[in-house]
């Protein structure tokens, strides 16, 4: 099926909306749009960051997921207490594959689950005493930890525990950083507010800890902000930043440490990958410490080259040379990857529905492989995300915000993309529909996808999924219509 | 009244950012732009208008200030 025209897309949206009751229809209509590159401001065509409708299937998370799971979770040498009932922490434990170096349980703790396991009596009498006790236990059981964060679950906000007071007291006693984070799940409409709250906690409790202290700096200090090292992404980015002559002094927060976070204000430039989850802290550092920040995109060689040149523009000629050297070094490698996979993937159409930065960032990587993204959407994006997306997407393609299970299914049925990239909750629906699917939250247990090395893996994975022989075997043999000659031969 | 942040973009123009609404927009014009008096009405590229109390120009951007919404399509 060829690409839809603007009118066809419009009628597709109307058709899908038809099943909703009047009020729901009106609400959902605002979240579905047809891309128009001439629009400067996304709010003219799409509404985002609003509460999901009751009764529809949404795949959003909560503020706790945004703080504990995304921003704080990967900080490896801190212990993150899921303060509240046991489930929130246990069922989200180690699901995001934030890789790190260290011995888990000795000096790193990112894969472990620490919880205060609230019982009825804690709800009735308050959990502050329990929290204080937990912190002492942590200190005696895991003496090599570098700090503690308290990640509140819903009940904490409801019963009004004073986790700040407990944290301040514990910080003094343990002489370590203790950060209370008010990321109760009921706050906000999605995990997005959790990111913001976590950023504010970093700002209030961590960032200024080493102000005025001496730091051996170089003119080439940069930080990687908003790269969670999923499947090793941050490492794949870091190696060629270092190759071009920069010094990466901090990784936020994949494979990151509290010391790196505290040293971040000493950087010369903040490199921001996930705009959605970490722009708040970058903006704060720009204002308070005068550190410029810049968004970069390390998906696919075209975007990488563009980003490297823009990064180099902040520095002197030696870095600019370094950037060109790195680009030249990897060019033949990338050309080989494209030569191998492009013929196999050319012209294939992709629909995406992911969170954070990927709905717009991976478009370039698909285009490098000759593929086309025909629909994209954010789980929890805001207006500024869509502002940035409109320019990346082709005209008359679909944009959907916080799309419901039903809508996405209908869109896919009608548009019939060759590949769907979304999360684990969607994966098996589409695979059973016979449509190749990649899980784009944690790269389907593959990765890294960032950087030059990542692109080779990305291309291989897309090829592996799209050209898998299983898609031709959707009809069981006894239902397949046999060609006439074969039937004759059998008779 | 809302807290806003004003910063410079790569092209050297002023950018308006309203964290509460994740509204980011270029500032088309600023009423007063001298070292002694800075601020007044901000006209955004989208057509909205915000007002900040005229003040001494900030030593460096970005700067967070309180702004009043005069007329903005929301």
Q: Is A65 a catalytic residue?
A: yes
Mark yes or no for CB contact A287/B62 under 8 Å. yes
The CATH number that applies at residue B37 is 2.40.50.240
Separation between Cα atoms, residue A75 and residue A73, nearest integer Å: 6
Each residue's pLDDT tens digit, A122-163:
999 999 999 999 999 999 999 999 999 999 999 999 999 999
Residue A485 confidence class, pLDDT cut points 50, 70, 90: low
Residue of A nearest to B74 (CA): A43
A93 among known catalytic residues: no
Question: So what's the pLDDT on residue B9?
Answer: 84
Contact list in A for residue B13 (CB cut-off 8 A) is none
Q: Is B65 domain-assigned? A: yes
Q: How many CB pairs under 8 A join A and B?
A: 28
User: Which one of B7, B24, B62 has the shortest CB-CB distance to A384?
Assistant: B24
Residue B35 lies in a domain: yes
Question: Residue A21 has what pLDDT?
Answer: 94
B52 belongs to a structural domain: yes
Active-site option among A68, A83, A145, A195: A195
**Identified catalytic residue from A33, A62, A154, A234:** A62
Asked if residue B34 is part of any domain, the answer here is yes
User: Residue A286 is nearest to which of B19, B22, B62, comparing CB atoms?
Assistant: B62
What's the pLDDT score for residue B61? 85
Phi and psi of B59, rounded to 5°? -60, -35
Per residue in A285-337, pLDDT tens? Answer: 999 999 999 999 999 999 999 999 999 999 999 999 999 999 999 999 999 99
Could you confirm whether A62 is annotated as catalytic? yes
Q: Is residue B4 part of a domain?
A: yes
The pLDDT of residue A64 is 96
Q: B63: nearest CA in chain A?
A: A287
In a domain, B53, yes or no: yes
Ramachandran assignment for A72, one of left (phi > 0), alpha (psi -120 to 50 degrees), beta (any other): alpha
Any residues with CB less than 8 A from the CB of A442 and at least 6 apart, and which? A95, A96, A97, A230, A231
Tell me the two tokens of residue A327: 């680009």
User: Between A5 and A349, whose confidence is greater?
Assistant: A349
Residue A79 confidence (pLDDT) above 90: yes
Q: Which two tokens stand for residue A206?
A: 């961590």
Instruction: Say whether B21 and A290 touch across the interface (CB within 8 A).
Output: no
Q: What is the span of the domain harbouring residue B36? A: 1-69
Check A287 against B46: CB less than 8 A apart: no
What confidence category does residue A1 fall into, taking pLDDT thresholds of 50, 70 and 90? very low
Q: Do B62 and A280 touch (CB under 8 A)?
A: no
Per-residue pLDDT, A381:
92
Alpha-carbon gap, residue A296 to A312, rounded angstroms = 12
Domain membership of residue B3 (yes or no) is: yes
Give the pLDDT score at A130.
95
Tell me if A345 sits within 8 A of A371, measured CB to CB.
yes
The four Cα atoms B42, B44, B47, B48 give a dihedral, to 10 degrees, of: -60
Integer Cα distance of A430 and A425 in angstroms? 10
- Cα A417 to Cα A265, A352, A406, A414: the distances in Å are 45, 10, 16, 9
A195 is catalytic: yes
Residues of B in contact with A290 (CB under 8 A): 60
Q: Tell me if A63 sits within 8 A of A187, measured CB to CB.
A: yes
Name the more confident of A73 and A4: A73
Kindly list the distances between the CA atom of residue A418 and the CA atoms of A360, A375, A393, A480, B9, in Å, as whole numbers in the listed order. 18, 12, 17, 22, 39
Of A40, A287, A382, nearest to B22 by CB-CB distance is A382
pLDDT at A289: 94
Q: Is residue B74 part of a domain?
A: no
- Extract the tokens encoding A80: 């993150």
Q: How many domains does chain B have?
A: 1
Residue A291 near residue A269, CB atoms below 8 Å? yes
Q: β-strands B63-71, B49-55: how paired?
A: antiparallel
Contact B60 A41 (CB under 8 A): no
- Nearest chain B residue to A192, by CA: B22
**Residue B11: predicted pLDDT:** 81
Given an 8 Å threshold on Cβ–Cβ distance, is A283 in contact with B17? yes
For the segment A430-482, what is each residue's pLDDT rounded down to a tens digit? 999 999 999 999 999 998 999 999 999 999 999 999 999 999 888 888 888 77
Q: Does A192 touch chain B (CB under 8 A)?
A: no
A349 sits in which H/E element:
strand A349-352
Residues 6+ apart with CB under 8 A from A453: A236, A239
- Catalytic one of A68, A93, A96, A187: A96
Contact of A410 with A416, CB cutoff 8 Å:
no
CB–CB contact B23 A280 (8 Å): no
Would you call B26 an interface residue with chain A, using a CB distance cutoff of 8 Å?
no
Average pLDDT, chain A: 92
Window from A256-270, A373-387, B15-29 with minimum mean pLDDT: B15-29
Neighbours of A457 (CB within 10 A): 20
Would you say residue A227 has pLDDT above 90?
A: yes
Q: What is the mean predicted confidence (pLDDT) over B7-29?
A: 85
pLDDT, average across residues A255-280? 95
Preferred mutation among B22, B45, B61 to probe A, highest tally of A CBs within 10 A: B22
Answer yes or no: are the C-beta atoms of A35 and A397 closer than 8 Å: yes
Give residue B24's pLDDT.
83
Q: Which helix (H) or strand (E) holds A352?
A: strand A349-352
What is the chain B residue with the closest CA to A289?
A: B62
In this prediction, residue A483 carries a pLDDT of: 67
What is the complex's ipTM, to 2 decimals?
Answer: 0.89
- Out of B25, B46, B62, name the one closest to residue A283 (CB): B62
- pLDDT of A489 strictly over 80: no
Give the start-end residues of each E strand in chain B.
2-8, 14-18, 23-33, 38-44, 49-55, 63-71
pLDDT in the model for residue B1: 81
Measured between CB atoms, does B19 come within 8 Å of chain A?
yes
Cβ distance of B60 and A290 shorter than 8 Å: yes
Handedness of CA A106, A112, A116, A117 (dihedral sign): negative
How far does A25 lie from chain B, in Å, by closest CA?
A: 21
């Amino acid at each position: 099926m060829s690409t839809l025209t603007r009118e066809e897309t419009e009628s597709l949206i109307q058709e899908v909306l038809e099943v909703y009751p009047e009020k729901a229809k009106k609400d959902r209509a605002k979240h579905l749009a047809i891309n128009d590159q001439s629009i400067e401001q996304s709010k003219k065509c799409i509404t985002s960051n609003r509460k999901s409708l009751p009764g529809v299937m949404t795949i959003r998370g909560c503020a706790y997921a945004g703080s504990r799971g995304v921003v704080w979770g990967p900080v490896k040498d801190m212990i993150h207490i899921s303060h509240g009932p046991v489930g929130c922490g246990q069922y989200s434990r180690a699901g995001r594959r934030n890789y790190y170096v260290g011995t888990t349980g000795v000096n790193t703790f990112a894969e472990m689950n620490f919880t205060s396991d609230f019982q009825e009596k804690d709800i009735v009498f308050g959990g502050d005493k329990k929290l204080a006790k937990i912190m002492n236990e942590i200190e005696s059981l895991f003496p090599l930890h570098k700090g503690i964060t308290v990640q509140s679950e819903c009940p904490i906000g409801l019963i009004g525990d004073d986790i700040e007071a407990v944290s301040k007291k514990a910080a003094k006693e343990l002489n370590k950083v203790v950060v209370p984070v008010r990321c109760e799940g009921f706050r906000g409409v999605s995990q997005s507010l959790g990111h913001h709250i976590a950023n504010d906690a970093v700002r209030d409790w961590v960032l200024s800890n080493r102000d005025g202290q001496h730091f051996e700096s170089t003119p080439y200090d940069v930080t990687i902000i908003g790269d969670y090292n999923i499947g090793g992404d941050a490492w794949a980015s870091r190696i060629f930043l270092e190759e071009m002559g920069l010094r990466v002094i901090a990784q936020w927060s994949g494979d990151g440490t509290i010391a790196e976070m505290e040293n971040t204000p000493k950087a010369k430039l903040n490199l921001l990958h996930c705009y959605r989850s970490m722009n708040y802290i970058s903006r704060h550092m720009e204002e308070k410490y005068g550190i410029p920040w810049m968004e970069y995109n390390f998906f696919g060689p075209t975007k990488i080259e563009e980003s490297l040149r823009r990064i180099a523009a902040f520095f002197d000629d030696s870095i600019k040379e370094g950037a060109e050297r790195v680009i030249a070094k990897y060019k033949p490698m990338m050309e080989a990857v494209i030569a191998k996979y492009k013929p196999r993937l050319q012209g294939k159409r992709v629909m995406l529905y992911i969170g954070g930065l990927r709905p717009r960032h991976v478009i370039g990587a698909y285009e490098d492989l000759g593929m086309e993204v025909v629909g994209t959407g954010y789980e929890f994006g805001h207006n500024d995300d869509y502002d940035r997306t409109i320019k990346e997407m082709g005209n008359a393609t679909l944009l959907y915000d916080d799309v419901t299970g039903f809508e996405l299914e209908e869109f896919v049925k009608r548009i019939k993309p060759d590949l769907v990239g979304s999360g684990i909750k969607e994966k098996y629906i589409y695979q059973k529909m016979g449509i190749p699917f990649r899980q784009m939250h944690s790269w389907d247990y593959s990765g890294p996808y960032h950087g030059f090395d990542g692109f080779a893996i990305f291309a291989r994975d897309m090829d592996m999924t799209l050209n898998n022989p299983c898609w031709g075997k959707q009809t069981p043999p006894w239902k397949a219509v046999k060609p006439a000659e074969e039937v004759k031969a059998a008779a | 009244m809302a807290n806003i942040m004003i910063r410079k973009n790569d092209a050297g123009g002023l950018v308006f950012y309203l964290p509460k609404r994740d509204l980011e927009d270029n500032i088309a014009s600023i009423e007063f732009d001298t070292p002694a008096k800075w601020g007044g009405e901000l006209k955004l590229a989208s057509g909205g208008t915000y007002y900040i109390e005229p003040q001494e120009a900030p030593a460096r951007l970005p700067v967070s200030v309180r702004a009043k919404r005069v007329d903005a399509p929301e």
